[in-house]
Amino acid sequence: MYVCMCIYFSKLILTGILWSSSGLSRQYHYINERMPWSDAQSYCRSRYTDLATVDDMNDVSRLVKTVDAGYSGSVWIGLKSGTQSRWGWSKGDNTLTQYSGWKPGKPDGEGKCVYFAYGFWINSPCSTRLFVVCYNESTGYNMVNVWKNWTEAQSYCRQYHTDLATIRSSEEQNQLNSIVGQGPWVWIGLFLDSWEWSDQWSLFFRYWATGQPSQGSDCVGMLTNDSGRWVPDSCDLQRPFVCHGDERLTKKQIVRLKLSSDEKSNLNDPLTQTAVLNKISEKLKSTGLESNSKISWRKQEGENMFQKETKRKGNSNKNCDDTNL
């Protein structure tokens, strides 16, 4: 006499993560909970993409509007102190990977901001007062014959044009040289920076408040009461914060599961149930779903997890209706 395996039923909860659709612009989400910077980062990474990253002045404007109108203070964004200094452009362009026009022997340790003179780039202290070359998306390079330090020059160009001048090719270098000629030294948008974005975004747009960044603080907050300008602050301070990215949508699905076992096995034993879940997780992983899904048993109060359906007897040629895991 052949004994078929017993058939049991239970319910399994599958929880998966879906992503909402996104537009072309980075989506910002104000979180009105006060947390240290690292906790805010973890929160954003678990529910969105990361703490807010900013590309340009349009992003600054959208970021400020995201914060609740009733809040006046600092909110965490994704900028933090890095371990490596790099040269980048004020407008946000990446590091100097394609073209550079340094004067021989430069850059050196003389300063973190760069001016243009006699066809070369020369680094100098940012407090030096020089004339300025702005870049305008409509009109190109524009000379500004007013003495300013580098930070003042950046603010002026962003207010009246697009930003300080960026030079990305020998053609642009020659164009700027024809404008400046043998005239005054002029600030351009190149500067040395050691800050980095939490999501590892490589662009160099910065929007510091006057006199910033200061030494000694490693995390950056945005001042809602100063047109969205940025200040370094202690990472341990509790602040609201802004995340970026599409919101993750959690979808929960309950599946009725049918398993089979021999009569010696107890599917209501917690160790056995854990082993079954592990086996199911392996199956999900093989399909690429395991990393974005969580599974758990659903149990009705006062009932066993598994309910026995039938027990059939027959000859050895009779097939059992079972689920293979």
Give me the CATH number covering residue 230: 3.10.100.10
How far the first Cα of the chain sits from its last, in Å, is 26
- In this prediction, residue 3 carries a pLDDT of 38
Asked if 213 and 283 sit in the same domain, the reply is no
Asked if 135 and 46 sit in the same domain, the reply is yes
Helix H or strand E encompassing 270: helix 270-286
Give percent helix, percent strand, percent coil of the chain, each to the nearest 5.
20, 40, 40
Asked if 274 and 198 sit in the same domain, the reply is no
Asked if 81 and 219 sit in the same domain, the reply is yes
Determine contact, residues 157/164, Cβ cutoff 8 Å: yes
Residue 295 belongs to domain spanning: 2-16+269-314
Picking from 244, 278, 304, the residue at the C-terminal end of a domain is 244
pLDDT digits (tens, 9 = 90+) for 64-100: 999 998 899 999 999 999 988 999 999 987 656 678 8
Pairing mode, if any, of strands 130-136 and 186-197?
parallel
pTM over 0.75: no
Distance CA 290, CA 282 (A): 8
Q: Is residue 73 part of a domain?
A: yes
Q: Is residue 258 part of a domain?
A: no
- In this prediction, residue 249 carries a pLDDT of 46
Q: Is residue 204 part of a domain?
A: yes
Exposed, middle or buried: residue 101 (CB in 10 Å: 0-12, 13-18, 19+)? buried
pLDDT for residue 300 is more than 60:
no
Distance CA 101, CA 1 (A): 90
**How far is C-alpha 177 from the geometric centre of its chain's CA atoms?**
38
Asked if 37 and 131 sit in the same domain, the reply is yes
Picking from 209, 227, 244, the residue at the C-terminal end of a domain is 244
Average pLDDT over residues 122-149: 95
